Amino acid sequence: MDSIGLFEQASSDLFGVWFLMGAVLVFFMQAGFAMVETGFTRAKNAGNIIMKNLMDFCIGTVVFLLIGFNLMMAEDTLFGLVGIPNLNLFTDFANFPWSSFVFNLVFCATAATIVSGAMAERTKFNAYLIYSAIISCLIYPIEAGWVWNTNGWLYQMGYVDFAGSSVIHMVGGISSIIGAKLLGPRIGKYTKGKDGKTVVHAIPGHSLTLGALGVFILWFGWYGFNGAAATQVGQLAQIFATTTIAAGFSTVTTMIFTWLKNGKPDISMTLNGSLAGLVAITAPCGNVDVIGAIIIGIVAGFLVVLVVEFIDLKLHIDDPVGAVAVHGANGIWGTLAVGLFNIYESDGITKGLFYGGGAEQLIKQCIGVLAIGAWTAITMYIVFTVIKKTNGLRVTSAEEIEGLDISEHGLASSYADFMPVTNSYGGLVGSAPSNELIEEKISVSMDEAVPVEYNVSTNPLVKPKITKVTIITRQSKFDELKSAMNAIEVTGMTVIQVVGCGLQKGSSQYYRGVPVEINLLPKIQVEIVVTKVPVERVIEAAKKALYTGNIGDGKIFIYNVEDVIKIRTGETGYDAMQGEE
């Protein structure tokens, strides 16, 4: 073989390996989806969401192997609409296209997992397994075959979706909005005001840290998602560039837009902005230049905010993670963008409208979007309706309030070593009975561990005044409060982790475009008993330490203590306050 032949063979082998490595990156995106969905929802459902994301891929593997792959990629098709299954997978193992199977499997799992976020926190686990399996074995493979099987009717027409804006993301988004609508909102998400109008309540997720980690994982995996099908180094580099540019511009656009709109840059929405840009560039990543990628990203950044708020504030459909806006709306936008910004021509494919190709490619993209959208909407509506009428889609109200971790999986808390998880109404999820709690033995007495301040009066007729000061404030302010108390020689305090609720007026804080109410938030309750240190000094020091000027600074309560009983000795009153010599 001559040098040119050797180079061509090496290049072929190289990109065969990259093809599979790209599939591995797409598989790793399952971790990203799991983190985003977990972080954007409440802690009491974290285990349930992790379990769903795990089973998406595992159940998807089973049904895609047995049914889905042949429906999608079979060489023989029925009028380009659906593949005709064969048994080559079992009868001709050595020659079966395993690279194609693995590659398409990981994409299939992505389409199914999008739905879990939109229907999180109130869906039966067994119902989720049913519709996830149906998406993986029927819904996704058939429409994906139209586009990515060379015999598919949309492929033959010249429809372009390089990596799946419509095939994967739009399908997941449409399935999400149908499922979320039929399922209904989470308890407390929408209520009726005195004027009869619907009031929308923000339900913040429990960990933006996990959400951000998930976005970074997804962004990393997206280079495989968009680039795995590249066959040349130059093409791969261009795809990496357009992917990064669109996501970057989308993220900046969302940040600035929410900043101007709400007065503060919205963190969770900006994270969604990154994903929106990635979704939008997925279809045209191999077909647009820098200008096209920039415009696609900017539009995606605006679109994700507007659609999230429209669905929540106007349609009153509860989508906890913004899946419909991120994947549905931007999947459509990215697919149509091919018809506007395509820079290449080939058999059956023309340049985009803004690059001198007229409306021909845009019309093809519109036909494909309508066909895939109609297929998904009709079939998923039937699937969800049948499940709802037979098995049931939604858990009971009691189970939802308690949390799906405990009700669906018997898991007291996904964060067992941390603060107990609280449900929407303040109840503790999975708190242990008192006889199961074992306190660590310490080498000092209670009085030494928690000293009590007292004064000594030289007049035996004057009873020393004992006062208890109770402070409820943010957990983050405890160190400042402790330092302030130490500075005035108050060293004894009791600290309790609590949750607090209250109605505050004038709040300007927003979560995903919805004003944040003071519902149930983690707080600390600090109790200090003083006699020697004047109460006024304690109050003044606490106010200086805790004041920020924002809602949620907390409150200080002052009580006169009528009597004290020392359990160990039975002493009462002043004598009970005395320490050992």
Write the pLDDT tens digit of every residue in 106-151.
Answer: 999 888 899 999 999 999 999 999 999 999 999 999 999 999 999 9
Q: Name the residue with higher pLDDT: 455 or 125.
A: 125
What percentage of the chain reaches a pLDDT higher than 90?
Answer: 57
Is residue 577 pLDDT above 50, yes or no?
Answer: yes
Q: Is the pLDDT of residue 57 over 90?
A: yes
What pLDDT is attached to residue 534? Answer: 85
| pLDDT score at 533 | 79
Structure confidence at residue 77 as a pLDDT band (50, 70, 90): confident
Amino acid found at 429: V
State which amino acid sits at residue 266: D
Q: Which of 472, 568, 579 is nearest to 527 (CA)?
A: 472
Per-residue confidence (pLDDT) for residue 317, from 0 to 100:
97
**What pLDDT, in 10s, does the model give residues 79-104?**
788 888 887 778 888 888 888 899 99
Which residues lie across from 394 on neighbouring strands?
A: 123
Residue 196's SS3 state is coil
pLDDT value at 190 more than 80? yes
How large is the average pLDDT for residues 496-514? 64
* Angle 163-161-239 from CA coordinates, rounded to 5°: 50
108 backbone φψ class: left, alpha, beta (φ>0; ψ -120 to 50): alpha
pLDDT at 14: 77
Whether residue 6 is predicted with pLDDT greater than 80 in this model: the reply is no
Q: Which residue, among 77, 52, 212, has the nearest Cα to 141 in the 3D structure?
A: 77
Q: What is the percentage of the chain residues whose pLDDT exceeds 70?
A: 85
Nearest to 476 by CA among 552, 557, 424, 555: 552
Of the pLDDT bands very low, low, confident and very high (cuts 50, 70, 90), residue 260 is very high
Tokens of 526: 């600090």
Length of the chain: 581
Q: What is the pLDDT of residues 410-438, one digit of tens each?
A: 888 888 766 444 444 333 333 333 333 33
Q: 10 falls in which pLDDT band (50, 70, 90)?
A: very low
**What pTM does this model have?**
0.77
pLDDT beyond 50 at 55 = yes
Q: Is the pLDDT of residue 550 over 60?
A: yes
- Report yes or no: 98 and 133 within 8 Å, Cβ to Cβ: no
pLDDT at 579: 53
Q: What is the pLDDT of residue 481?
A: 87
Q: What is the C-alpha separation between 40 and 35, in angstroms, rounded?
A: 8
Is residue 200 predicted with pLDDT exceeding 90? yes
Please state the rounded mean pLDDT for residues 537-553. Answer: 84
Asked if 146 contacts 152 with a C-beta cutoff of 8 angstroms, the reply is: yes
Query: Which residue, among 146, 119, 120, 115, has the nearest Cα to 132 in the 3D structure?
Result: 115
Q: Write down the pLDDT at residue 270.
A: 97
Asked if 268 and 208 count as a contact pair (C-beta separation under 8 A), the reply is yes
pLDDT at 87: 74
Containing 115, the helix (H) or strand (E) segment is: helix 98-118
Which distant-in-sequence residues (6+ apart) come within 8 Å of 444 by Cβ? none
DSSP 469-504: EEEEEEGGGHHHHHHHHHHTT----EEEEEEE----
Structure tokens at 192: 């009726």
Beta-carbon-side half-sphere exposure of residue 81 (alpha carbons within 13 Å) = 4
Residue 531 pLDDT grade (very low, low, confident, very high; cuts 50, 70, 90): confident
Which residue in 348, 346, 357 sits closest to 292, CA to CA? 357
Question: In terms of C-beta density within 10 A (0-12 exposed, 13-18 middle, 19 or more buried), how is residue 459 classed?
Answer: exposed
Positive or negative: CA dihedral 69, 72, 74, 76: positive
Whole-Å CA distances, 387 to 48, 408, 523, 545: 19, 18, 41, 55
Confidence label for 561 from pLDDT (cuts 50, 70 and 90): confident
Which residue, chain included where needed, has tokens 């149906």?
Answer: 134
Cβ neighbours around 478 below 10 Å, total: 17
127 token code pair: 């119902």
**Pair of tokens at residue 450:** 């928690």
* 236-250: average pLDDT: 97
| Between residues 307 and 481, the one the model is more confident about | 307
Q: Give the HSE-up count for residue 141: Cα atoms under 13 Å, Cβ half-sphere.
A: 29
CB-CB neighbours of 516 under 10 Å:
18
SS3 assignment, position 229 = coil
Give the helix ranges, DSSP H, for 286-403: 290-309, 323, 330-341, 360-389, 397-402
Lowest mean pLDDT among 26-35, 170-179, 513-522, 538-547: 513-522
How many whole angstroms separate alpha carbon 70 and alpha carbon 137?
10
Interval 369-410: pLDDT, tens: 999 999 999 999 999 999 999 999 999 999 998 899 999 998
Identify the pLDDT of residue 437: 32
Query: In the predicted model, what is the mean pLDDT of the chain?
Result: 85
- For the segment 224-250, the average pLDDT, to the nearest whole number, is 94
pLDDT class for 489, splitting at 50, 70, 90? confident
Stronger pLDDT, 421 or 196, i.e. the higher one: 196
pLDDT at 168: 96
Cα(422)–Cα(383) distance, integer angstroms: 34
Instruction: For residue 542, give Cα distances in angstroms to 487, 504, 553.
Output: 11, 21, 11
